[in-house]
Amino acid sequence: MATPAKRASPLNPTGKKHRFGKAWMHEHVTDHWVNEARRLGYRSRAAFKLIEILERDHLLKPGMRVVDLGAAPGSWSQVLAQRLGGKGRVFAVDLLDFEPIRNVTALKADFASDEGLATVEAALDGVDVDLVVSDMAPNLSGIEPVDQARGVHLAELALEFAIGWLKPGGDFAVKMFQGEGFDAFKRQVEGHFAKAYVRKPKASRDRSREVFVVGKGLEAAARDAAG
């Protein structure tokens, strides 16, 4: 009796094995930063990206008020709260729920909507902040120009928020992907901050276009113009 042919899954119409999935899983479980995150109790390897940026650009001091945009699953907020040591305040914003973190105020909000922005601003209660960090990323469509445009838009929203809520002299760090719109965005940051840098942390995968744009020292004129 002949063996019946294996039916293809609707999600895999060719019926072929996905070597990419196996390769990704192997890379993930053997990744130095993944293993370090697990060892140190961080929720993701992204913690080490922020640690390097904070240390290299001297962005964090005790007593600071910090807003973490796109916070889930919470690794950046973990780092911020840990390093502030209870001497400061962290506001973590995301659409998704995540496990509570000591000394972190979690705000479930769509930052890209008027309602979500209002939620964040209400929590700040009119008090300026010292640092805004953003690890926001769009839901990927698989269409590169569309995804790039969405990523730039989120970065621009984060920058607009930072200009409006940072104290003069405050700092900003945002995730970006190199591509269309990146250079123009960097020029925007340069126009509002005393210094601007592009950082590629060691924990970012080499093949990734991911980088971080850092703005140091919000210009008083930029804050005044924002009202």
pLDDT surpassing 60 at residue 21: no
Distance CA 108, CA 48 (A): 24
Distance CA 124, CA 121 (A): 5
Query: Residues with Cβ < 8 Å from 171, sequence gap 6 or more?
Result: 57, 59, 130, 131, 132, 193, 214, 215, 216, 217, 218
Beta bridge partners of 9: 12
Count Cα atoms within 13 angstroms, Cβ side, for 219: 13
For residue 185, CA distances in Å to 111, 135, 143, 192 come to 19, 16, 21, 11
Instruction: Pick the catalytic residue from 6, 22, 61, 175.
Output: 175
Confidence of residue 22 (pLDDT cuts 50, 70, 90): low
Query: Residues with Cβ < 8 Å from 107, sequence gap 6 or more?
Result: 91, 92, 93, 94, 119, 120, 123
Distance CA 123, CA 209 (A): 34
- Average the pLDDT over each of 31-45, 61-75, 76-90, 161-175 and give the range with the smallest value: 31-45
Instruction: Look up the CATH architecture of domain 44-226.
Output: 3-Layer(aba) Sandwich (3.40)
* The one-letter amino acid at 168: P
Q: What stretch of H or E contains 134?
A: strand 129-134
The per-residue pLDDT for 14 is 41
pLDDT tens, residue by residue, 54-74: 999 999 999 999 999 999 999
Cβ atoms within 10 Å, residue 64: 20
Indicate the domain borders of the chain.
44-226
User: 175 catalytic, yes or no?
Assistant: yes
Q: Find out whether the peptide bond into 73 is cis, omega within 30 degrees of 0.
A: yes
